[in-house]
Chains A and B, each alone.
Chain A
């Protein structure tokens, strides 16, 4: 394929989230970086144009800290996806989402309702309840969910148009713990944008998710806590792009028996003892 044709082909492969085209399939968090400057360079290296942020208590002792952070993030020119991290009940998550909508001036919300502080696993009943309320209230909800098919169905019925199942618990970097279930989700919901959120540690994990047909990857810790965050952001960008290209190209199915790639026909007989 010529480079022009290749470019045209890539141009057609645009991810759309709630009606908005997204140029990068890597969504990046803004937490845990060694410094604001390293975060800025990491964002740039990743090519991400969706960044996640949160709300936390403002202090009179440092009034304006939130505004300063917000001014910096706005400077990146990315779309903002506020989260409800740390919320354990639908009520907490709904109130946090409403507060985030006002501050960040967006209907987008990464909805997190957490069940357990050790695993940070989604509390899926509360998640579905909060999603129903928020979707009715005009939010465009990106639910952080498990890979459970029935939960996914309920979230879609609630009005979610994107699903964000975990690969593994937040911050563990363990990769795809249940690839079978993730493949099932992909097969059941071929037209729903599916983004793996949480548990990705290495670029190979991200590539694996993309190769099975996921639409994007949401990352934070794996980049922010790398020895060189900027280089790791670039590595993830390449892995995600490679995984996507491979999925679209069609990966060969695995086989049990070896099969020579070099032609067998025309092979010379050089050892008479093999003839028997």
Chain B
């Protein structure tokens, strides 16, 4: 399945957002996720299946003004 993660194309076999986050090495880091522009809470990631063409955003804390 071909998706984009933070704007980059990625081929993945992950079934859900939770699996994808593990695959990306984000299991133990502070992140927030969105799928196709909608926020996906951490507790819902395992219940959100991935589909071909999905646009996933994974964000984390940064400097801000």
Contacts and interface: CB of A to CB of B under 8 A. Distances in A.
A18 B61 CA distance: 23
Nearest to B24: A60
Contacts, number: 108
Given A29-B65, A102-B42, A221-B65, A58 B37 contact: no
A179 interface: no
Given A55-B32, A67-B30, A95-B37, A220 B65 contact: yes
A59 B8 CA distance: 11
A95 B24 CA distance: 22
Interface residues of A, number: 39
Contacts of A102: 32, 39, 41-42
A83 B64 contact: yes
Contacts of A196: none
Interface of A: 29-33, 39, 52-60, 63-67, 69-70, 73, 82-83, 85, 91-92, 95-96, 98-100, 102-104, 170, 220-221
8 contacts: A31-B63, A60-B25, A66-B61, A69-B63, A70-B61, A95-B38, A98-B39, A99-B39
Interface of B: 6-7, 24-26, 28-34, 37-39, 41-42, 57-65
Q: Which 10 A-B pairs have the closest CB atoms?
A: A66-B60, A54-B64, A29-B65, A220-B65, A99-B32, A98-B39, A70-B61, A31-B63, A55-B59, A58-B60
